[in-house]
């Protein structure tokens, strides 16, 4: 598959609350790794894609590798190394979702419940989901990402806003 945008690789630590010591952007929990091993036994090599579409929401979808075609509208966030699998599991995200998630470290997890009928785990009675945390300042710098610009919330104090007539004081 062609690579579009940033390319980050995972080592599979599965600790979403801890800062990353390496250039990883996506990881997975032990439960997700177990499910990927089972699904690979059924479907062969797999891939993830996370879009922002109406039907699949923003959940990661798991497909047999190559079944979902990626394009310039997708970013390759990394390859999930799963012990016991011959090939890593690539993780792709739509550019629009990446703009929303780019300041976060993502961990693929699995929970009981019904997911998308198109995702490989659907018949198992579970679904993949993303857990996230904000990247540290050090990680942002390592990835070459600017810190998010935050707008102040609430009143800015007396004399700082427009008057009732719409002009500054």
pLDDT in tens, 146-155: 877 777 776 6
Residue with tokens 């630590």: 13
In a domain, 120, yes or no: yes
80 burial (CB, 10 Å; 0-12 / 13-18 / 19+) is: buried
Compute, in degrees rounded to 10, the torsion defined by CA atoms 113, 9, 142, 59.
Answer: -20
Computed over every residue of the chain, the mean pLDDT equals: 80
What's 73's domain CATH number? 2.60.300
Location of structure tokens 């062609």: 2
Provide the number of structural domains found in the chain: 1
Asked whether the predicted pLDDT for residue 108 surpasses 90, the reply is yes
pLDDT, one tens digit per residue, over 60-104 is 999 999 899 999 999 999 999 999 999 999 999 999 889 889 999
Domain annotation covers residue 69: yes
pTM of the model: 0.73
The residue range of the domain holding 31 is 26-143
Separation of alpha carbons 121 and 115, rounded Å? 8
Residue 107 class from Cβ within 10 Å (0-12 exposed, 13-18 middle, 19+ buried)?
buried
Are the C-beta atoms of 130 and 56 separated by less than 8 Å? Answer: no
> Is residue 133 included in any domain, yes or no?
yes
In a domain, 65, yes or no: yes
Domain assignment of residue 127, yes or no? yes
In a domain? residue 139? yes
| Residue 160 forms part of a structural domain | no
Is residue 13 domain-resident? no
Residue 154 region, left (φ>0) first, then alpha (ψ -120 to 50), else beta? left
């Amino acid at each position: 598959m062609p690579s579009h945008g940033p390319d980050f690789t995972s080592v599979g630590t599965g600790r979403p609350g801890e800062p990353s010591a390496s250039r990883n952007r996506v990881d997975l929990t032990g439960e997700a790794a177990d499910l990927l091993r089972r699904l690979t036994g059924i479907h062969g090599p797999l891939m993830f894609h996370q879009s922002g579409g109406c039907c699949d929401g923003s959940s990661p979808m798991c497909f047999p590798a190559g079944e979902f075609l990626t394009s310039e509208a997708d970013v390759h966030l990394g390859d999930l190394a799963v012990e016991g699998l011959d090939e890593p599991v690539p993780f792709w995200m739509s550019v629009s979702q990446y703009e929303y998630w780019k300041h976060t470290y993502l961990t693929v997890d699995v929970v009981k419940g019904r997911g998308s009928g198109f995702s490989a785990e659907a018949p198992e009675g579970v679904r993949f989901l993303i857990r996230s945390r904000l990247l540290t300042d050090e990680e942002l710098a390592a990835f070459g990402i600017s810190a998010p610009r935050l707008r102040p919330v609430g009143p800015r104090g007396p004399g700082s806003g427009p008057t009732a007539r719409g002009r500054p004081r």
